[in-house]
């Protein structure tokens, strides 16, 4: 077991008992959308900004976190970045922006990250969300049980992922009423 695995396990034990998921069926009102990415690619970000606009989500109800193994000194990011250095040995998350992300209760959390990004999976598991959606694992034996809905799409196909997500959201909306 790697040291990062131990820190992630400690972080999950600290947070999970307090997670309260918002009700997806609560009618009209404000909807919150949380996005977890592992790339700061502007085209990828634009795909999710377009989804935000299509869903009619306001800026205050839309949050993006980027999960990276490490950040280079000259990297410029738009929004919070979560790295393994942001988890203490006791499992406490030391990044205030990420803590704020986790304190929100979302109607929908979308994780569009590589299968093996443990930091992204940690954030998904710690988020309070009515619906958690992510990419289905393309590799055999990789765990994707933190998601309520897994969509098959490669990391190079964000537009296909989003189109499939919209189809499923329409179905869910009809079911919930």
Which pLDDT value is given to residue 13? 46
- Tens digit of pLDDT per residue, the chain (177 long)? 454 554 555 454 444 444 444 444 444 445 899 999 988 788 899 999 999 999 999 999 999 999 987 665 555 657 889 999 999 988 899 999 999 999 999 999 999 998 888 999 999 999 999 999 999 876 665 555 788 899 988 888 899 999 999 999 988 888 776
Domain count, the chain: 1
Q: Report which of 95, 65, 60, 69 is spatially closest to residue 79, judged by C-alpha positions.
A: 65
Can you give the pLDDT at residue 143? 57
pLDDT at 30: 55
Q: What is the pLDDT of residue 11?
A: 53
What's the pLDDT score for residue 16?
Answer: 43
Hey, what long-range contacts does 10-17 have (CB within 8 A, 24 or more apart)?
A: 10/87, 10/89, 10/90, 10/91, 11/87, 11/91, 11/92, 11/93, 11/122, 11/126, 12/91, 12/122, 12/125, 12/126, 13/91, 14/90, 14/91, 14/92, 15/102, 15/126, 16/125, 16/126
For residue 112, what are the domain limits? 3-176
CATH of the domain at 10: 3.40.50
């Amino acid at each position: 077991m790697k040291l990062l695995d131990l820190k992630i396990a400690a972080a999950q034990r600290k947070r999970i008992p307090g997670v309260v998921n918002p009700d997806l069926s609560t009618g009209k009102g404000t909807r919150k959308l949380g996005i977890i990415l592992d790339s700061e690619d502007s085209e990828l970000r634009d795909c999710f900004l377009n989804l935000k606009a299509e869903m009619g989500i306001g800026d205050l109800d839309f949050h993006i976190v980027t999960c990276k193994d490490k950040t280079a000194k000259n990297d410029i990011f738009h929004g919070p970045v979560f790295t393994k250095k942001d988890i203490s040995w006791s499992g406490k998350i030391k990044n205030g922006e990420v803590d704020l992300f986790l304190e929100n209760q979302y109607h929908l959390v979308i994780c569009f990250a590589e299968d093996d990004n443990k930091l992204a999976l940690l954030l998904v598991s710690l988020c309070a969300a009515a619906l958690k959606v992510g990419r289905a694992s393309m590799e055999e034996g990789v765990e994707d049980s933190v998601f309520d809905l897994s969509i098959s799409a490669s990391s190079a196909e964000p537009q296909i992922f989003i189109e499939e997500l919209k189809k499923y959201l329409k179905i869910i909306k009809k079911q919930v009423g």
